[in-house]
Structure 1
């Protein structure tokens, strides 16, 4: 299966086919509203505004698997992101990123790029995957990596 064959659901439970992302640079982040890393939404939105017209897409995938830090439903999550951080990039349907019910998007990402010491699982909220214009997972970043730290890689892939 290729990256562009994936079709997760958006917050309205409608298909969001990754085929529409062909030729774009994509940053995928598992997000949560009540996490110490939640302020990263601000940096993600800043990068999105700066590079969206050059072909960057950021996708947030809410996940409640880490400390139950994303308890809301999809509408509450969307509202929180918009009201508190001015998020305009797509925040899709809440999913699992680890375990038996892992969303196919995260199966694909984790199998394409392992984390530290070959660990495939997602360790916490706000891990990030950067995908190039051809659908290849270019890099994986830990939750500690601030969005602005990824900017140089984004610029490189947009060229």
Structure 2
């Protein structure tokens, strides 16, 4: 089973097949609106605007598992991201990234690239870069800024 066999839950209740992203470079990140790393939305949006026309997508997954830093519902999260950071990349449904209720996408990502805590996500804004082939190329800690990913994104875009 690969990443393209999975689907992301959408805020409205539907699902988005990851197979629709075949051939694109993906940055998958768990996000939160009330976190010290929340200003990274600005950098994520800059990456998206700079590279989306070259086959780059960002998939943001709001998560409330870290000190309750994403308490809002889908509409509140979308409103915050739009008004505060002018986010135009897709915001998926709020999910869990650790534990028994972890979303299958994050289970897959963590299995492919472990981090400092092994198979667990350490905090909000953990980032996974996925190549055009659907393989997880790298995992980045929350403190890694979106700007620091530019060189690798450009390499993956070719």
TM norm structure 1: 0.98
What displacement does 1:85 show? 0.2
Tell me how far apart the structure 2 counterparts of residues 119 and 155 of structure 1 sit (CA, whole Å). Answer: 28
* Offset from partner CA, 1:41-82 (integer Å, 9 cap, x none): 000000000000000000100000001000000111011100
- Which residue of structure 2 lines up, in the alignment, with residue 11 of structure 1? 11
Structure 1 residue 92 displacement after superposition? 0.3
Look up the match of 1:75: 75
Moved over 4 A (4+): none
SS in 1 for 2:29: strand
Quote the offset at 1:120 in angstroms.
1.4
Match of 2:94 in 1: 94
Distance 1:13 1:23 in 2: 26
Gaps of 5+ in 2: none
Cα drift, residue 104 of structure 1? 0.2
Residue matched to 1:53: 53
CA distance in 2, matches of 1:158, 1:10: 26
Equivalent runs, 1:1-159 vs 2, <5 Å: 1-116=1-116, 119-159=118-158
Cα distance in 1 for partners of 2:21, 2:136 equals 13
Distance 1:151 1:6 in 2: 26
Total equivalences in the alignment: 158
Distance 2:13 2:74 in 1: 9
When the two chains are superposed, the root-mean-square deviation of aligned CA atoms in Å is: 0.7
Any stretches of 5+ residues in structure 1 without a counterpart?
Answer: none
| Superimposed CA distance per residue, residues 3-57 of structure 1 (whole angstroms, 9 cap, x where no aligned partner) | 1011111111111100100000000000000000000000000000000000000
Offset at residue 144 of structure 1 (A)? 0.3
How many angstroms apart in 1 are the aligned matches of 2:20 and 2:147? 25
